[in-house]
Amino acid sequence: MKEAATRAPLTAQNYKSSYKPIWCPGCGDYSVLSSVTKALAMVQVPPEDVVVVSGIGCSSRIPAYTTCYGFHGVHGRALAAATAAANHPCRARRAPPSARRPRIGGGVRS
């Protein structure tokens, strides 16, 4: 019987993309991004099992600065989009790799 492959512990850096944030110097969004990546590393959820949902504004650039799946929704609808992603039967944790491809737009596969 094969041993389960062990994964190296994830760090905050594993969740940060290669894109450099373009927020203004001193902006609090840097702290938010840092806190989110540190929290994800603490719970050890693989980036491919995480969806970051955002709305409109500077803070909404956070999905681009992570290696997780991202959804940039319309104004005032981030919570609805996140709820749909969390409750959809094809969500990332249960979907086969072919169904986890990032997509442009808000369509989801059932």
pLDDT at 108: 46
Whole-prediction pTM value?
0.70
Three-state DSSP at 109 gives coil
- Rg of the Cα trace of the chain? 15
pLDDT at 4: 54
pLDDT at 77: 86
The pair of three-digit structure tokens given for residue 15, joined into one six-digit string: 């969740």
Q: Rounded to a whole number, what is the largest CA-CA distance in the chain?
A: 54
pLDDT at 39: 94
Least Cα distance to 33 among 64, 56, 72, 3 occurs for: 64
Contacts of 89 (CB under 8 A, 6+ apart): 110
The pair of three-digit structure tokens given for residue 86, joined into one six-digit string: 């969390």
pLDDT at 56: 86
- pLDDT per residue as tens digits for the range 42-57: 999 899 888 899 988 8
One DSSP character per residue, 48-100 reads: GG-EEEE-SSGGGGGGGGBSSEEEE--TT-HHHHHHHHHH-TT-TTTS-GGG-
Residues lower than pLDDT 50 in the chain = 1, 92, 95-110
